[in-house]
A = this chain, B = another copy of it.
Amino acid sequence: MTGTEDLHARVALTWLAEPGTRSVHRLVDRLGPVATLQLLLDGGAPDETLRAAVAARLPAGDPRAVAAEAVALTDRLGARIVSPADDEWPVALGDLARLVLPGASRKVDRETAPPLCLWVRGGWPLAEVLDRSVAVVGARAATGYGVHVATELGYGLADREWTVVSGGAFGIDAAAHRGALNAGGVTVAVLACGVDRPYPMGNSALFDRIAETGLLISEWLPGAEPLRPRFLIRNRVIAAGTRGSVLVEAAARSGAAQTMHRAVALRRPAMVVPGPVTSALSVGAHELLREYRDARLVTGLAHVLEEVGRIGSDLAPPARGEERPTDVLDDDAALLRESMPRRGVISADALAARAGVPVRTALRKLALLEELGLVTRRDDGYALTRPQPSHGHA
């Protein structure tokens, strides 16, 4: 019963104050959703802004009745509500509780708390699907170039069994979803409105396919309208729910670029595909690469996998056939290998200094050398791999 009551309170709170509101999230953390709801209904919101927001919403209905209706409607839609109490809750969203955006002056940049609950349409367990996921986002008014790149990326990621997450918009978002669907993979559209009325209508057929084979998710109640600010509020969920985000095309000051700011602040890989400087749809992408030292230029699937992949499963496959492992090493990798001490262990930093290679590069190349069986990782650093000693020489 408490579970149901909790869930209803979360829904009511989501309706009372826009998702992401920090003060609500803090109260829920401290008091639980039921007591928080009661406190707000009693006019006890801890700050004037929240008190005003609640007061403004109350004339529209009784929050508890609205919540009960939303829960019933969710059932009728064949959808479900997932809350932090559920096994399928994506714990990565908890990182939003600590998200601080430098110099945040706008509301959407300050109110970035985790969702209180999520609506889900589709058969997959949410946490499992997002555990191995990459966001691909970009401009609605994408060019043929951007659509091509996003489709390829969506396809490639899905083909390697990564979930492709995007916002369901026209242009890059739709291309990424479609690429994943074409590969027979799983794709998730994170909506800025109710899961019963995915926006834009023009993508209805796409949303139907996503709901069948992937997931439609939202932090808004069924029936909620796709109001403009909601797209920006929603973007933090795309950034936090995935292992990393890729921006394909964006005009200056775009919403997609804003997703990337969140990814950077969350210390998720923020990857950007460059484009022709002659295109207005590349301006936002290049701005990001210029302004954020942590934004990473990627040109395709291999680079994306390198950023988000786990060592051993998503690195470039080792060489086959007649090739020796060392044949595939590029200059840096070869240099690092040559710089390894013949015996004993060396730290990545020390090795990088010795080889005169940036530490970041050294770490990547060491992972490659390890994958190729040329180097062994020890507790205190790296060592050249030795042939197995024969028995009796232990």
List residues of chain A with CB under 8 Å of any chain B CB.
Answer: 102-103, 105, 145, 148-149, 273-278, 282-283, 286, 289-293, 296-297, 299-300, 303, 331-332, 335, 355-358, 360-361
Write the nearest CB–CB distance from A247 to chain B, whole angstroms: 13
Query: What's the Cα separation between A278 and B276 when bound, in Å?
Result: 10
- Contact: B277 with A357, CB < 8 Å? no
Closest residue on chain B to residue A100 by CB atoms: B356
Q: Of B273, B289, B357, which one neighbours A297 at CB under 8 angstroms?
A: B289
- Contact: A103 with B331, CB < 8 Å? yes
- Contact: A357 with B275, CB < 8 Å? no
- Contact: B297 with A297, CB < 8 Å? yes
Q: Of B102, B273, B290, which one neighbours A303 at CB under 8 angstroms?
A: B290
- Contact: B289 with A335, CB < 8 Å? no
A145 — which chain B residues lie within 8 A by C-beta? 276, 278
Write the nearest CB–CB distance from A301 to chain B, whole angstroms: 11
- Contact: A275 with B273, CB < 8 Å? no
- Contact: B297 with A286, CB < 8 Å? yes
Q: Of B105, B286, B303, B358, which one neighbours A299 at CB under 8 angstroms?
A: B286
- Contact: B277 with A103, CB < 8 Å? no
- Contact: A297 with B274, CB < 8 Å? yes
Query: Oligomeric state, in number of copies?
Result: 2
Write the nearest CB–CB distance from A335 to chain B, whole angstroms: 5
A-B contact pairs, 24 of them (CB 8 A): A102-B355, A103-B331, A103-B332, A103-B356, A105-B335, A149-B277, A273-B277, A274-B274, A274-B275, A274-B289, A274-B297, A275-B275, A275-B277, A277-B300, A282-B299, A283-B299, A286-B297, A289-B297, A290-B296, A290-B297, A290-B303, A292-B358, A293-B360, A297-B297
Write the nearest CB–CB distance from A124 to chain B, whole angstroms: 31
Closest residue on chain B to residue A295 by CB atoms: B297
A277 — which chain B residues lie within 8 A by C-beta? 149, 273-275, 299-300
Write the nearest CB–CB distance from A238 to chain B, whole angstroms: 22
Query: What's the Cα separation between A300 and B286 when bound, in Å?
Result: 11
- Contact: A102 with B357, CB < 8 Å? yes
A283 — which chain B residues lie within 8 A by C-beta? 299
- Contact: A103 with B293, CB < 8 Å? no
Query: What's the Cα separation between A330 and B148 when bound, in Å?
Result: 32
Closest residue on chain B to residue A273 by CB atoms: B277
Query: What's the Cα separation between A361 and B356 when bound, in Å?
Result: 27
Query: What's the Cα separation between A273 and B335 when bound, in Å?
Result: 28
Closest residue on chain B to residue A356 by CB atoms: B102
Query: What's the Cα separation between A20 and B361 when bound, in Å?
Result: 29
Query: What's the Cα separation between A293 and B290 when bound, in Å?
Result: 11
Closest residue on chain B to residue A104 by CB atoms: B356
With A145-B278, A299-B277 as contacts: A355 and B293 at CB distance below 8 Å: no
Write the nearest CB–CB distance from A308 to chain B, whole angstroms: 15
